[in-house]
Amino acid sequence: MKKWLKRIGYTLLVIFIFLNVMMAFQAYNFTHFYAGVPKPKRPEEISTKEKLSSIFFGVKYPKAIVVDSLHIPHQTINIKTEDGINLEAWYGIKNDSLHKGTVILFHGHGSSKSAIIKEAEAFYSFGYNILMVDFRNHGNSEGNTTTIGYIESKDVKAAYDYVQSKGEKNTVLYGISMGAATVMKSINDYNLKPNKVIIEMPFGSLYDAVKGRMRTFHLPEQPFSALLTFWGGTEQRFWAFNFEPWDYATKINCPVLLQWGINDPRVTEAEINHIFKNLASHQKLMIKYAQSAHESLCKKENTKWVKTVGDFLNQ
């Protein structure tokens, strides 16, 4: 009996070690992007050997390529964060009497400012200057790692401070997915005072964001989500289970527009409702989009987005 129990114990130990090593590799690749790396093949295009390698060692993902197709006057600028990272941004200024303020836009995980061009052009048409920022380790910005918003809160602060230094009196923070969660964390960490906030599809907690990622890969949430969250935070030197934007919502007192797509496989309705409930603002609005998933709501349901956002800004 003792012999069998010992064998079972060793087997469980080997499985435990294997899962942890595998998740450590996966977490590392989830928090790094590489210039010049080809886009990963689709699962049906790779061999069994390649599949096994990707499961155990993870897959290297390329840095998003920035394509400047922004059809409004703008300049490329660099903003330095408090920890010395140079961020590339596009700054579009309205030189007429229609100027109403400045909207600072932040993209999602693995993306770049190129992905939010349609939103930026809409804000510009509403009468706002726009500042579009590449997060660290994204697009054309410096940096070797991403923390899915934890340290990127410094990037939001740097962009906010830049706009404030220009004498702006009406600053709006806009973020999508990781960008939205990062905006919330920066307001919490640095006591930022934007005039309005627009957040789309923010995850309720980093742990829930990882669970959402598991769902998109059709993998069981446990034990993979807990291990991936643990190793992702450990490798980047923070306790990832404490990264909870729904708690940061309690520090947001300005008017807030929270938006979400009903078909979103990554961020659950329960997370969105929890965030909305916790928002401290007395002027908060939640809009859900019936045809959208975890994607650009502006592109997917443009007419509704333009009216909703335009009305919110004019309030």
Per-residue pLDDT, averaged over 169-173, amounts to 97
Looking at residue 97, its pLDDT comes to 67
Q: Does the pLDDT at position 273 exceed 60?
A: yes
> For residue 238, what is the DSSP state?
S
**Contact in structure between 94 and 124 (CB atoms under 8 Å):** yes
Average pLDDT, the chain: 91
**Bigger pLDDT: 286 or 35?**
286
**What is the rounded CA–CA span in Å between residue 185 and residue 243?**
9
Nearest to 34 by CA among 9, 60, 10: 60
CA atoms of 37 and 34, how far apart (whole Å): 6
Give the SS3 label for residue 233.
helix
How confident is residue 8, by pLDDT bands cut at 50, 70 and 90?
A: confident
Nearest to 293 by CA among 252, 265, 270: 265
Segments making up each domain of the chain, as ranges: 1-62+211-237, 64-205+243-314
Evaluate if residue 98 carries a pLDDT over 80: no
SS3 137: coil
What CATH number belongs to 64-205+243-314? Answer: 3.40.50.1820
pLDDT category at 39 given cuts 50, 70, 90 is confident
Query: pLDDT band for position 220 (50/70/90)?
Result: confident
**Beta carbons of 300 and 261 less than 8 angstroms apart:** yes
Q: What pLDDT is attached to residue 276? A: 98
Angle formed by the axes of helices 206-216 and 224-235, nearest 10° = 130
C-beta separation of 50 from 44 below 8 A: no
Q: Which range, of 104-108, 141-145, 292-296, averages the lowest pLDDT?
A: 141-145
Assign 92 to helix, strand or coil. strand
Q: Is it the case that residue 174 has pLDDT exceeding 80?
A: yes
The mean per-residue pLDDT over the stretch 157-182 comes to 97
Q: Record the pTM.
A: 0.92
What does the pLDDT look like over 54-81, one tens digit per residue?
666 777 888 888 999 999 999 999 999 9
* Residue 28 scores a pLDDT above 80: yes
Q: Which of 96-105, 131-140, 194-203 has the lowest mean pLDDT?
A: 96-105
